[in-house]
Every structure is written in C-alpha cells, then in structure tokens.
Structure 1
Amino acid sequence: MADVDLTGLIGTNPLGFLAALGALDVTTRRLPDTRLTLAWTDGLEPTARLTGPDSLDHLIDLCDTDRQRWADSLILTWGPGKQPMADLKPDPETELIPWLNAILAAMTPDDRRDVDLIAALLSEGALAGKGVSKPTHLHFTAGKQLFLVMARALQEDLKPADLREAFTGPWRYASTLPILRWDPSGERVYAHTSRAPESTKATGVPGADWLAFVGLRHFPVTTGGAALLTTGCSPEWKRGEFRWPLWNAPATSRVIMSLLAHPDLTKMTQPQRELFSVHRLLAAPIRRTDQGGYGSFGAPTDLPPAPTHTALATSPTP
C-alpha cells in the first residue's frame, strides 16, 4: 500500500486535523477491502500521512466521486414538505424524530454514511434555549450563515482543484465558497471589526471545509441529562475548548475514534502517551460571539503530559 503525504493538512490547525479525518473516512468507505490508516509526522508543523490510496491523484478522484454521491444524502436533502433542512436546529418532535427515522430506514449493512454522520451532528433530547434541538459543539455558523445550506453549496460546487489545494497546500484562501469556520486564521470577531461577520464575505479553503464536514463522524454527540456532549469538546457552550491528539503510528478510523473518546486523554503521562503513539495533544478555545452566536477557534496550544509521580525508593535496613 502506498503512503500519500498530505502536506497541506497541518495537524496543529483544527481544520487541517478534521479534513484529514474526512479523507480517511472517504477512503475507508470507498476502498472497503483496503486497510486505510492515518498518522501524523513529527515535525514542527505535523502533516497528515494517509496509507491506502495508490497516489494523490487516486485520493482526489476518490474524494471527488464521493462528494458527488453525497447529493442524495438524507442529511443534506431531507426536510418537512420536501424542503431540505437549512440548519442543525430541527424541532425535536416534528422534525428531528422523522428525520432520524428516515435516515435509519435508509441504512443498509453496506452503507452507514448518513447514520454515522448524523450521530455526530445531533442527539435526541438535547435542547437549545428556544426549544429547538442543540447541534454539535462544532457548529459555528449562525445568523444568515446556515450550516446545512453551506454544506450543500460545498457539495454542489466543489472542484477537484479545491481538494488538491487542501491536500498539498499552500492554502491560498482565494475561494468564496462557504466556510464552516473551523480555521483559527479565519476568525472574525465582531468586537474587532466594523461590521458583523455575516455582512462580510469570507474566503477560505473549501476542499478542507468539505472534508472536515465529512470527518465530523469521528466526533459523535450524546446527552448528559438535557445537555449536549460532543466528543473532544468541553461541555460549555459559550466558552469551551476542543482537544485533539496527534499520533505517529498508522491508525484506522475505528482506532482513532476510540482514541478521540478516551476519557483520560488529558491526564496521560508521557509514558502513557507513548503507549498510544500520541506525540502531541493540542487544545483550542471555542468562542461564540454575543452578536449572533458565531463560533470560532482561538489559537491552538500544546497541552503538556501529566506529571509522572515516582515513589521515593528506600534502602532496606541492614
């Protein structure tokens, strides 16, 4: 199997990390008889290494074909009255339950795509302040920027060249296709600008945003009481934190999901991290504006390993 180095996907950037998981998800589904793995290089700017596709061109072709097949996804097309859902805030009774039932009914043993992704977007029983369903903590759009409308635009208009830019870099931030706000360098805080974020057109790297959207399946959500809990995120909504590891041993999608959900990830000592092949653990603050609730990541930082407490050795009394 070939190793494909994705030098544009830098692991210290949440968008690069999520996009790498999306690429792994696509290839795992498109090449079911191949052992697909993902690892990260050890450099100052660790980049993704995907094992399985024959070449970069093969990977781009797989991802573009997969993108086209999302046109029939019930996540992107289902809605009451045949009008697709615009955002991840359905009414819990009249919209969420029928939506989930439709996705479950369409699932087959060979196709869990929609089931796996919806489990990372919404959880039955988690409610926002206005009584609508509460989306994943990684839902950063608000106001006129509607999450599913933007995801559909990416699905419809993305080109293979956008995927190549995401995979190889440098990221030019020249496209006006929608961005889902996971790149810290694209943060636009209202307090620091003359206009609200929705009134200005942001540019980004749409290939990375699309792959990151697909890669969200690695971060399933659940409820704790009536509160939403998102894998990798602290439970706070307005001021929380997203944490993710980088590992240098090739790992499959299932292994990675187990690692991301490890309850003691932030409590591991250096020797414990080494057992899991984790060479870095990063965290980025999640911030939401008071004007509209737009989410964004702050600058990521490295989290040090937990201290190793060694008991003092005592010499036996002669």
Structure 2
Amino acid sequence: MTRTVTQEELAASVADGLERLAELHEFDGRKDLNYSRTDCRELLRQEAAAASVQQRGQVDLLGALMSDGATKPDKKEEIIDPTPLCLLYGQGHQHFLERLAAVPNQAAPAVKGKGKKGLSTVECLSQALFHPWHREDDTSSFRWDPEEDVRYALMAGDPTDPAYKAGTQHGANRLAAVGLAVLTLAPERRAGRVRPNIVGGGFDSEGFSFAWPIWREPATLSAIRAMLAHPELRQNSALAHMSVDHVVLARRISVGKFMNFSRARRLATIG
C-alpha cells in the first residue's frame, strides 16, 4: 500500500540503506586501485562464487571498479586499468580505495568551530537530496564534483591553504560512493588494446565522458540501469519512449597532476 512520506522520513530510510551498503566498502586496507591481473581475477572469482541473487553487493561493487580483462600497457607487471571514474592515484596523498572505504562509513561531517552544533546523519543526507548544496563540509571527496576543480589562477589564494580550501557536500559524496556499484565496468577494444568502460561512459577524441538521462516519471533501479546501458543513450530522442526528457554529459578533464569532471551540459533534447 502506497502512502505519502515526508522528506525527513525518506532521508531516514536512505540513511538506513546507506549504512548497510557501507559495510561492503572494505578493501583489506588497500589504498589504491592497483591490483595485479592475477589478484583481481582471484578476488572477483571468489566474490562471484560467494554471491547470490539476494546477496551480491560486494561483487557488484568490485565489478564496477575493475576487471582482469583490462590492464595498463606500460607496466612491467600486469596491473588492472581501473574504472574511468577513479581520479585518485596517490597524487597529493589522495587515495581512491582509502576514501571509498572511509567516506560511506562516516555518518556525518566533523563539526567546524567551537560551540557549533553538528548535523545528524539524516540531516546531512536531507541537505544533499532536497536542498541547494553549500559545500561547507571538511571531508574527503573523489573529485567528481566540478566545484572541486580549483585552480590557482582563478582563486584569491592558495587552494591548499585552509582559508581557501574548497569544502564538500558530504551527504552527496556518501551517496555517490555507494552508488558507484551500479556503474558496472566492462572491457572493450579501443585504440588497439582492451580498455575499461562503464555503463553510461564513452570515449571520443576529447577523452572519457559520462552521460545520464533525466527522466519524467518515477523509475526503479532496474529501469535506471537499462537507460544508462542503452546503446542509443547519446542519440537525440532515442529514449523518449522511456520517459526521458533529456540527456546530460560531463567530461573527465586533467588539470596538472589532478583530474576532475567538467560541469554537465545538456546533450540532447528528447521528443
């Protein structure tokens, strides 16, 4: 039986689900996505054997991060080529798996300033889901937010200085971290070798980009997966029959030794 729920009730339900999913974010202390092909294959085989239709969260997460079918060509040892969404390789002491394990399990950001009241887990998620983002949290991120593309020339001071350092939207980062498991990685042959790609992802002369639909009607997770994996996702009007209004696209960009994503732009008008 359906009923109307408040924003607070929905955020509380999301918090409960997120807490359960966060338990899967355990990588045995490994900091970076630098598994050997052999270790990757063994880990995926092990988790696939242990999974079931009802309990497959761990293998879904690992399957979104890497495949033993795609390795880097310039290494003496065969090292996996990770998901294109991995933008942290240790540069600036930023480690992808370390953050992917920590962020979902941090219920709320630390309190900034003496005498200030911190946000509850539900309040933190409610801010991310239902309110404009102010990015005032001092927590780790994955460089997926275009606002994290901070450059010296565009700032009044050093972006590494605490006085100028950009904040994050912690609730959004927690949701993005657990949502990563939906974006399954699959190897594909491109430019003469096997490389990784993900549902919604694509490569062209400008590099990697990620596209996603904006739909008009409520959609289940299965429906969203189907839209992201649709071969005509990036073609104008192709998904009108699935209640898609338009498609947006964000590009992965390099800024010195760091990587970011550009602000998403409207790709196609549907219908």
Bin for the TM-score computed over the shorter chain: 0.7 to 0.9
1:212 to 1:72, Cα distance in 2 relative to 1, 3 A: closer
Q: Is the aligned partner of 1:57 residue 2:4?
A: no
Tell me the CA shift for residue 259 of structure 1. 0.9
Q: Is the aligned partner of 1:166 residue 2:128?
A: yes
Q: Is the aligned partner of 1:263 residue 2:231?
A: yes
Of the three residues 102, 112, 117, the one matched with 1:153 is 102
Number of the residue aligned with 1:209 = 173
1:198 to 1:215, Cα distance in 2 relative to 1, 3 A: farther
Cα distance in structure 1, aligned partners of 2:48 and 2:205: 29
Q: Is the aligned partner of 1:280 residue 2:229?
A: no
Of the three residues 164, 185, 205, the one matched with 1:221 is 185
Partner SS, residue 268 of structure 2: coil
Number of the residue aligned with 2:115 = none
Mapping for residues 117-266 of structure 1, pairs under 5 Å: 117-128=61-72, 129-130=74-75, 131-142=78-89, 143=91, 144-159=93-108, 160=121, 161-189=123-151, 201-225=165-189, 226-235=194-203, 239-266=207-234
Cα distance in structure 2, aligned partners of 1:90 and 1:198: 33
Cα distance in structure 1, aligned partners of 2:183 and 2:221: 11
Q: Deviations over 1:22-50 (max 9, x none)?
A: xxxxxxxxxxxxxxxxxxxxxxxxxxxxx
Cα distance in structure 2, aligned partners of 1:156 and 1:197: 25
Contact 2:18/2:175 (<8 A) preserved = no
Q: Deviations over 1:181-237 (max 9, x none)?
A: 221122124776786879985410111111111112332111114211222122369
Cα distance in structure 2, aligned partners of 1:107 and 1:174: 39
Cα distance in structure 2, aligned partners of 1:106 and 1:195: 48
Number of the residue aligned with 2:30 = 85
Cα distance in structure 1, aligned partners of 2:131 and 2:267: 26
**Structure 2: gaps spanning 5 or more residues:** 109-120
Cα distance in structure 1, aligned partners of 2:185 and 2:52: 22
Provide the aligned length of Structure 1 versus Structure 2: 246
Cα RMSD, aligned residues only: 2.9
TM-score (norm 1): 0.68
1:188 to 1:241, Cα distance in 2 relative to 1, 3 A: same
Contact 2:21/2:57 (<8 A) preserved = no
Cα distance in structure 1, aligned partners of 2:160 and 2:58: 30
Q: Which structure exhibits the higher relative contact order, with contacts defined as CA atoms closer than 8 Å and separated by 6 or more residues?
A: 1
Amino acid at match of 1:148: L
Mapping for residues 107-126 of structure 1, pairs under 5 Å: 107-126=51-70
Partner SS, residue 166 of structure 1: helix
1:237 to 1:263, Cα distance in 2 relative to 1, 3 A: same
Cα distance in structure 2, aligned partners of 1:89 and 1:134: 8
1:198 to 1:295, Cα distance in 2 relative to 1, 3 A: farther
Q: Sequence identity, in percent?
A: 26
Partner SS, residue 200 of structure 2: coil
Tell me the CA shift for residue 58 of structure 1. 2.8
- Which shows bigger deviation, 173-182 or 128-137? 128-137
Cα distance in structure 1, aligned partners of 2:208 and 2:269: 20
TM-score (norm 2): 0.79
1:267 to 1:64, Cα distance in 2 relative to 1, 3 A: closer
Of the three residues 14, 19, 41, the one matched with 1:68 is 19
Contact 2:253/2:261 (<8 A) preserved = yes
Cα distance in structure 2, aligned partners of 1:87 and 1:279: 38
Contact 2:66/2:185 (<8 A) preserved = yes
1:107 to 1:288, Cα distance in 2 relative to 1, 3 A: same
Partner SS, residue 57 of structure 1: helix
Cα distance in structure 2, aligned partners of 1:227 and 1:204: 31
Mapping for residues 9-28 of structure 1, pairs under 5 Å: none
1:115 to 1:190, Cα distance in 2 relative to 1, 3 A: farther
